[in-house]
Structure 1
Amino acid sequence: MTVELTGSPAAPAADGDASARRLAYVTVCVPAAGFAAALLYSFVYGFTLVDGVLLGGMYLLTAIGVEGGLHRFFSHRAFAARPVVTALWGVAGSMAAQGPIVFWVATHRIHHAFTDTDRDPHSPRPIGTGRLARVRGLWHGHVGWLFTVRRANWSRHVPDLLADRTVMKINELYFVWVLLGLAVPAALGGLLTWSLGGAVGGLLWGGLARIFLLDQVTWGVNSIGHTLGNRPYRTRDNSRNVAPMAPLSVGGAWHNNHHARPSLAHNRHTFWQLDITGTFIGLLDRAGLVSDVRYPKHAGRRGRGR
């Protein structure tokens, strides 16, 4: 399955597709290798408290950057923010190494426009026929789509971002933020332990392994969140709430809730649903750092997605 990011029938230049595939291999393979290296390093030298703190802290920072920044803020405009706060959202999301803001948002907006159809970039619908069709679909929805999606003519999907100088500057410096996301835990690991081993552990666990683990959770919302789980809302797609994933996805796994009411800043539609990102946005609202936050008003309603 090959999906055009534009939703247009026009194919991009071959060299552009080749470049995109190379970037996809780097995006997928380097964190995976880093995770394996982190496991091996800890097997030999041990897993320290500093390693765990850096992994947890950097994971929380970048997970909220993805779910609150790239997703709810940039993709859905669920709240407003001034340039400094906008930049911080963009940097935190970019440090997750899931792609520049423009690419991430354009892909996600197409996903909502064509959810679970042939034009959805990462639908886990069965591919082909036979027993392996579902497995192939899950693989595509989880990570395979990165190697087939055609990244061209993003402007039609993100005109608001292209008109925002702050966003475009953050977007241009994407690889700087990725490297910063690796450098910060490495530096903190070295300083907190005053050792080279601490810096290596910080780089591996707070940097590469953290990217790998967050990737699996984010991509899992795409694949598992359209395959398994409950559907309290009768949306036009196959989106589902996956409660066990809610803590790790900082609220993103309430996916059926989100597809039913995508413009909201909160995915928690009942009191017991954990939505760390929504709570964080609410705290920022109380502090006056964000505004025009779209809160759920009728959490008990059931309806079609929009």
Structure 2
Amino acid sequence: MTTASPIPPAPPSEKAEQPRRSGIRDGDLDPELRGRGERITVFGYVLIPLLALAAAVPFAWGWALTWTDIIIGAVFYVIGGLGITVGFHRYFTHGSFKADRPLRIALAVAGTMAFEGSVIKWVADHRRHHKYADHEGDPHSPWRFGDDWRSVAKGLYYAHMGWLYLDDRKTSLRRFAPDLLKDPDIARIDRLAGPIFMFSMFAPAAIGGLVTMSWWGALTAFFWAGLVRLALQQHVTWSVNSICHTIGEENFEVRDRSRNVWWLAVPSFGESWHNLHHADPTCARHGVLKGQIDISARVIWIFEKLGWATKVRWPDAERLNAKMVGPA
């Protein structure tokens, strides 16, 4: 059985390279003022588009948006979201558990349906992120330009989505994901990413058309359960890159700026408990403190009970206490 492995060691020429902070200047501003400015920038960046989308819902309800669209969109959102969080992230990137072959294939397909890139590319980028987190070499740190509000605004865009086409250092798949390149099942799914993307986008339209027996039902399902659902899913995932490295609580000691953002916990299926994740990357549960909802961890627990997942790396109390810096 093929499973995810840790990031392989760098070649000798790259090992000598010491990560450096990129554009991070902690003493430039008063901490209180800096924190307030960062929060204002983040909330403006995130809430304005979400409010615009929410405002469109009552106008569209009943003629361009129906319960059929919402249900189809929710089902596809859950499949793609858990494919990313449980599959691409906790399993393939960090090896938080071992999966049998059917589950491994299902997780790779489900994650690809989220339209966030092929499985091998996604995993390689994320392993690179952890190697250089918020230092030079991190593909999507929001701090690469500095920490005044203008630099944070620019960095948020870059970390959120700009890095996808502006990053001038492409991630080496052979260096960061050699295990997946050698896995025939995963390599095949990686090559089929295009057809899987198309299925994820257009299957809701087909389902909506069949349920309503109308072209209009197909069109509204394509818009809400296809396009809007994919856009929402992508932005929630990208928010972990940008927002969860900008604001939030720090409960565990880390070498970067990863933080916990509670209001993203449910839509991200627990990924926004990001501070613990960077403190203990292979842990299968990210929301380890009281009241921290982690849907992905519960799904992994179900897989374990069904016998589909084994050797799950659950939190170790002694290790967590050693890393804790904030109140539980």
| TM-score of the two chains, using structure 1 as the length reference | 0.83
Mapping for residues 65-84 of structure 1, pairs under 5 Å: 65-84=83-102
* CA deviation after TM superposition for structure 1 residue 268, in Å: 2.0
Is the 8 Å Cα contact of residues 126 and 135 (structure 1) preserved in structure 2?
A: no
2:34 paired residue number: none
- Post-superposition CA distance 1:33-78 (Å, at most 9, x none): xx98xx6993793310001111211111111111111100110011
1:221 paired residue number: 240
Matched, 1:135 2:153: yes
Matched, 1:184 2:207: no
Matched, 1:108 2:126: yes
What one-letter code is carried by the residue in structure 1 that aligns with 2:276?
N
Distance 1:67 1:129, change over 3 A: closer
* CA deviation after TM superposition for structure 1 residue 224, in Å: 0.6
- Post-superposition CA distance 1:97-125 (Å, at most 9, x none): 11111110010001000000121000000
Aligned partner of residue 76 in structure 2, secondary structure? helix
Structure 2: distance between partners of 1:270 and 1:303 = 13
Mapping for residues 34-53 of structure 1, pairs under 5 Å: 42=60, 45-53=63-71
2:281 to 238, 262, 274: 262
* CA deviation after TM superposition for structure 1 residue 131, in Å: 4.6
What one-letter code is carried by the residue in structure 2 that aligns with 1:210?
R
Is the 8 Å Cα contact of residues 246 and 254 (structure 1) preserved in structure 2?
A: yes
Is the 8 Å Cα contact of residues 160 and 238 (structure 2) preserved in structure 1?
A: yes
Mapping for residues 199-238 of structure 1, pairs under 5 Å: 199-238=218-257
Structure 1: distance between partners of 2:316 and 2:259 = 21
Matched, 1:146 2:164: yes
Distance 1:302 1:275, change over 3 A: same
Structure 1 stretch displaced more, 93-102 or 262-271: 262-271
2:72 to 34, 40, 54: 54
1:282 paired residue number: 301
Is the 8 Å Cα contact of residues 284 and 314 (structure 2) preserved in structure 1?
A: yes
1:95 paired residue number: 113
Structure 1: distance between partners of 2:146 and 2:102 = 47
What one-letter code is carried by the residue in structure 2 that aligns with 1:220?
S
What one-letter code is carried by the residue in structure 2 that aligns with 1:170?
I
What one-letter code is carried by the residue in structure 2 that aligns with 1:57?
V
Distance 1:87 1:129, change over 3 A: closer
What one-letter code is carried by the residue in structure 2 that aligns with 1:113?
K
Structure 1: distance between partners of 2:281 and 2:147 = 32
2:311 paired residue number: 292
* CA deviation after TM superposition for structure 1 residue 199, in Å: 1.3
| TM-score of the two chains, using structure 2 as the length reference | 0.78
Aligned partner of residue 91 in structure 2, secondary structure? helix
1:22 paired residue number: none
Is the 8 Å Cα contact of residues 79 and 294 (structure 1) preserved in structure 2?
A: yes
* CA deviation after TM superposition for structure 1 residue 284, in Å: 1.0
* CA deviation after TM superposition for structure 1 residue 92, in Å: 0.5
Corresponding residue pairs, total: 274
Structure 2: distance between partners of 1:56 and 1:302 = 39
Structure 1: distance between partners of 2:307 and 2:236 = 30
Q: Which runs of 5+ in 1 are unaligned?
A: 1-5, 10-31
What one-letter code is carried by the residue in structure 2 that aligns with 1:117?
H
Tell me the C-alpha RMSD between the 2 structures: 2.5
Structure 2: distance between partners of 1:152 and 1:247 = 30
Greater relative CO, 1 or 2 (CA 8 Å, sep 6+): 1
Structure 2: distance between partners of 1:100 and 1:292 = 26
Is the 8 Å Cα contact of residues 134 and 144 (structure 2) preserved in structure 1?
A: no
Structure 2: distance between partners of 1:152 and 1:244 = 31
2:270 to 239, 251, 255: 251
* CA deviation after TM superposition for structure 1 residue 152, in Å: 5.2
Distance 1:129 1:236, change over 3 A: closer
Q: Which runs of 5+ in 2 are unaligned?
A: 1-9, 15-48
2:19 paired residue number: none
